[in-house]
């Protein structure tokens, strides 16, 4: 396994006349202690799909890895009208777990024809009109872009309509592009001409703000092969494992990445979190272990995955001489159907394979308006980062119970620095994404200063950040912003051989602010590399604006 080698000697030289900076690398994120309260959002629906509202704590049983647990927390979250018998204002602990926060939906528009027999676009429009806006929030993810979560329903409807008008041309161009050798060699980014059409869908007046879509799952739950893939991607050497036989369907591979991105985008968001994939046929020809990993990450993040297929009944055929024999769905399609059901079942979502999409989205809306928020302290409270399976039993016949079926045994993250957690995840996402992100425009130059000692090299990188995209605030007559910056140094074989991570706090007087808006935010960082450096990648994250930028250069 390739490993990240952390630089031991870090030096940061900042333009002191422009801003004040908090220098030095923050200490590694280390959590100690035991697992705190494990929350489980439980939705119980009857045969008609309506919430069952009269259950009590005694009607529920929770098991973790087959061992019964004591329910320490019971809260009713009612968004449908009159309260159930035990309903009340959320307790302080329930509020911390998101009981009083809004519903958040990310509509993931998959590859392929999405109206189809199931009438996907019509269903999405009806669903959006039904939401309680505010407080419900919605984002739309398509191709490599995602809109911001917003309560502006009309803006989201305009985006869906604009996508529907333009997507068939984009789909045709992408289908042609990926029929060649491009996909064989693992690339899934569209060509620049098609990327411009994709950007045009999201960039228009009256639409929600949007950003590039890039993500990488937490490395502690990745296999060794997947870590190799990740660290190779740091320096643009795209390898998603397709040449090792992992996956080989470009459209499904893109949809898989969008789902990962949506899950990680929602991980640190408060409130209920739901991802709805609208797809022609699901994740066809994707290895089951990859959908299983996605499912576990979603469950761990308390994100439900609902999957709607719009393509109707798929058929395959055989030719015998002049005779054509039509059969049912192919084995690939049957596996994709099974994976869609598993993703939904294991995360508390809902699946629709051969049904009209509006009926399924109506079920999603009704089921998520009422829930029982349960919590327990695991009898096995040790943290081992392994996946633990949750089973919820309800003492009521004829009902369907929707809940997440597990989590990773990490220490309680609520006690950690929330900003640090979010920044680490966002920087890892941008670092592993092979393309450049320009939501926060970054310019980068780098050179080898000199070998610092035998077997080590000093790399100096100069980074310029476009100030217009930074989310400044005003305090005491100064313009305030805070940026997280990371530099990655790579060898010719894509190994990461040095890294710098720092935070830059800007506290600008009016004169310095005017100068910064003209010249940009500029800093120089030095990283010690443990082998001959060939590549440098810079990633900048603005926490307040939740925007990322990156740049990549080669060292000659």
What H or E segment, with its residue span, contains residue 359? helix 357-367
pLDDT score of 412: 57
Nearest to 215 by CA among 429, 486, 432, 439: 429
pLDDT score of 322: 65
Cβ-Cβ contacts under 8 Å for 517 (sequence gap 6 or more): 467, 468
Q: How many CA atoms lie within 13 Å of 517's alpha carbon, on the beta-carbon side?
A: 11
Nearest to 434 by CA among 230, 221, 222, 135: 230
> What would the two tokens of residue 372 be?
């029982």
pLDDT score of 21: 38
pLDDT score of 413: 52
All structural domains of the chain with their residue ranges:
10-29+422-554, 102-366
Q: Is 427 left (phi over 0), alpha (psi -120 to 50) or beta?
A: alpha
The architecture (CATH level 2) of 10-29+422-554 comes to Sandwich (2.60)
Nearest-angstrom CA–CA distance, 83 and 86: 8
Peptide bond into 68 cis (omega under 30): no
Nearest-angstrom CA–CA distance, 156 and 139: 7
102-366 fold: Rossmann fold (3.40.50)
Instruction: Decide: residue 327, CB within 10 A, 0-12 exposed, 13-18 middle, 19+ buried.
Output: exposed
pLDDT score of 29: 34
Nearest to 500 by CA among 16, 3, 19, 26: 26
pLDDT score of 384: 74
- Give me the helices (H) in 190-287, please: 192-202, 224-233, 250-266
Cβ proximity of 345 and 291 under 8 Å? no
pLDDT score of 317: 60
Nearest to 147 by CA among 69, 190, 199: 199
Nearest-angstrom CA–CA distance, 522 and 58: 60
Nearest to 496 by CA among 291, 219, 223: 219
Whether 10-29+422-554 and 102-366 share one fold: the answer is no
Could you state, in chain order, the average pLDDT of each consecutive group of 10 residues for the chain (556 residues)? 30 33 37 67 96 96 97 90 48 57 92 90 94 84 91 94 95 83 62 91 91 60 49 50 50 88 88 94 83 93 95 67 66 85 96 92 95 93 83 97 92 61 80 78 90 78 94 92 93 86 93 94 91 92 88 89
Q: Which residue has 């010249």 as its token pair? A: 519
> What would the two tokens of residue 27 be?
């200490």
């Amino acid at each position: 396994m390739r490993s990240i080698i952390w630089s031991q000697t870090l030096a940061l030289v900042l333009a002191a006349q422009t801003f004040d900076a908090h220098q030095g690398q923050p200490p590694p994120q280390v959590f100690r202690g035991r697992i705190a309260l494990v929350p489980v959002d439980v939705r119980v629906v009857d045969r008609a799909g309506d919430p069952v509202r009269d259950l009590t704590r005694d009607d529920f049983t929770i098991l973790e890895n087959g061992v019964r647990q004591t329910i320490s927390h019971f809260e009713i979250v009612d968004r449908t009208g009159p309260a159930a018998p035990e309903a009340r204002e959320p307790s302080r602990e329930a509020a911390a777990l998101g009981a009083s926060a809004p519903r958040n939906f990310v509509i993931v528009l998959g590859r392929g024809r999405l109206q189809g027999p199931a009438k996907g676009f019509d269903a999405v429009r009806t669903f959006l009109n039904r939401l309680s806006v505010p407080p419900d929030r919605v984002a739309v993810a398509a191709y490599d872009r995602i809109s911001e979560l917003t309560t502006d329903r009309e803006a989201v409807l305009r985006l869906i309509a604009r996508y529907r008008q333009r997507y068939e041309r984009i789909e045709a161009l992408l289908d042609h592009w990926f029929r060649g050798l491009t996909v064989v060699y693992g690339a899934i980014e569209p060509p620049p001409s098609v990327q411009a059409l994709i950007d045009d869908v999201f960039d228009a007046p009256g639409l929600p703000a949007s950003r590039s879509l890039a993500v990488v799952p937490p490395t502690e739950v990745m296999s060794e092969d997947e870590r190799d893939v990740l660290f190779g991607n740091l320096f643009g050497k795209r390898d998603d494992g397709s040449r090792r036989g992992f996956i080989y369907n470009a459209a499904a591979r893109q949809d898989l990445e969008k789902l990962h991105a949506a899950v990680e985008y929602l991980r640190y968001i408060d409130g209920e979190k739901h991802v709805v994939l609208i797809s022609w046929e699901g994740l066809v020809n994707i290895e089951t272990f990859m959908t299983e990993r996605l499912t576990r990450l979603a469950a761990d993040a308390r994100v439900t995955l609902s999957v709607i297929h719009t393509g109707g009944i798929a058929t395959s055929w055989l030719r015998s001489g002049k005779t054509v024999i039509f059969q049912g769905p192919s084995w690939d399609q049957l596996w994709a159907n099974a994976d869609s059901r598993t993703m939904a079942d294991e995360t508390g979502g809902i699946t629709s394979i051969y049904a009209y999409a509006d009926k399924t989205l109506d079920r999603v809306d009704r089921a998520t308006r009422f829930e029982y928020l349960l919590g327990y302290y695991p009898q096995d409270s040790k943290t081992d980062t392994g996946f633990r399976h949750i089973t919820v039993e309800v003492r009521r016949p004829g009902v369907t119970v929707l809940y997440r079926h597990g989590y990773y045994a990490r220490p309680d993250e609520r006690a950690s620095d929330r900003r640090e957690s979010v920044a680490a995840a966002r920087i890892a996402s941008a670092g592993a994404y092979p393309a450049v992100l320009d939501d926060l425009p970054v310019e980068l130059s780098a050179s080898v200063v000199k070998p610092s000692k035998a077997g080590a090299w000093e790399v100096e990188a100069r980074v310029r950040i476009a100030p217009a995209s930074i989310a400044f605030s005003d305090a005491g007559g100064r313009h305030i912003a805070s940026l997280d910056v990371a530099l990655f140094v790579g060898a010719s074989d894509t190994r990461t051989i040095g890294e710098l991570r720092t935070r830059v706090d800007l506290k600008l007087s009016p004169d310095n602010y005017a100068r910064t808006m003209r010249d940009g935010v500029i800093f120089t960082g030095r990283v010690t590399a443990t082998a001959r450096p060939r590549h440098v990648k810079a990633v900048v994250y603005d926490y307040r604006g939740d925007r990322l930028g990156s740049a990549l250069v080669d060292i000659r």
